[in-house]
Amino acid sequence: MPRERPVDPRTAPVTPPVTTAVRAPWTALVPLRAGSKGLPGKNTRLLAGRPLYLHAVAQALEAGASRVILSTDIEAVLQAAHPPGVEALRRPAQLCADDTTMGPVVLHVLRDAAVQGTVVLLQPTSPLRRAQHILQGLALHAQGRHELVMSVTGADRGVLKWGCLEEGRFVPLAQARHVFSNRQSLPPVVRPNGAVYVFDAAGFQRRGGFETEHIGAFEMDADASQDIDTLADFERCERLLAARGGPPDTAGSSA
């Protein structure tokens, strides 16, 4: 089982980005904090010989990010020498609690790092996403029809039969007819997988967070949508990465 080691991403060379029609400069935001109840130290734990968060950094650089910002309270990451285009921003303690949502964390980065233009949020816990997925999100956002673009993956359509109880009354989550339909006849369902979020910095600050009625989405397969919260999740991603042949050689391993 991989052991945690001091973080030093100096061995992470910057390679030419994937060819893409998305040419406007954009910023990648990679959030990682020290605290994790499900798997302590997971963000810097070695996955396929590389700290987990560096998989997100590598994917951002491969996709052509002009700037990568690490929002963190991990001292080793803050003090490390990062490759060109990558910088670490200290996250305030009040934004590192277990119940802190991502919105305030993003707002802090946008304001304190003076971020402008298109932003892509890449959570370290989705290490099986590829640069192509980031480019897919950027291309959809560039169409100008969506204030937020996010990645999704297929989910159990049976959730359309579910509902909430309100003072003894059943309130369907979707349409009442779905509750009494055969499962096979229900329409396909997707869920956010947390791998890619694309938005404009000014618009995010104006709205005060992610919430908007103008959300675009693109689908990722189940394997690429793996999310790490526990040791079992981590080991599953290790197996899938090994089957894939390991991560692309774009960010090296950390010594």
* Tens-digit pLDDT string for the chain (255 aa): 444 444 444 344 333 444 445 468 999 999 999 877 778 889 999 999 999 999 999 999 999 999 999 999 999 999 999 989 999 999 999 999 988 999 999 999 999 999 999 999 999 999 999 999 999 999 999 999 999 999 999 999 999 999 999 999 999 998 999 999 998 899 999 999 999 999 999 999 999 999 999 999 999 999 999 999 999 999 999 999 998 887 765 544 332
Residue 159 lies in a domain: no
**Residue 37, pLDDT score:** 78
Residue 228 lies in a domain: yes
Do the Cβ atoms of 133 and 224 come closer than 8 Å?
Answer: yes
Residue 253 lies in a domain: no
Residue 123 lies in a domain: yes
* 32 φ/ψ angles, rounded to the nearest 5 degrees: -150, 130
Rounded to whole angstroms, the Cα distance separating 221 from 226 reads: 9
Residue 77 lies in a domain: yes
**Residue 98, pLDDT score:** 87
Of 190, 56, 174, which is closest to residue 124 (Cα–Cα)? 56
| Sheet arrangement for strand 67-72 | 86-90, 67-72, 26-32, 118-121, 189-200, 148-155, 215-219
Residue 188 lies in a domain: yes
Residue 133 lies in a domain: yes
**Residue 249, pLDDT score:** 57
Domain that residue 108 falls in: 23-154+184-244
Residue 212 lies in a domain: yes
β-strands 67-72, 86-90 pairing: parallel
pLDDT in tens, 109-128: 999 999 999 999 999 999 99
**Residue 245, pLDDT score:** 81
Rounded to whole angstroms, the Cα distance separating 221 from 159 reads: 19
Overall domain count for the chain: 1
Do the Cβ atoms of 183 and 160 come closer than 8 Å?
Answer: no
**Taking the model in full, what pTM does it have?**
0.85
Rounded to whole angstroms, the Cα distance separating 231 from 192 reads: 22
Of 15, 42, 20, 219, which is closest to residue 138 (Cα–Cα)? 20
**Residue 102, pLDDT score:** 96
Instruction: Return the number of other C-beta atoms located less than 10 Å from residue 115's C-beta.
Output: 21
CATH of the domain at 80: 3.90.550.10
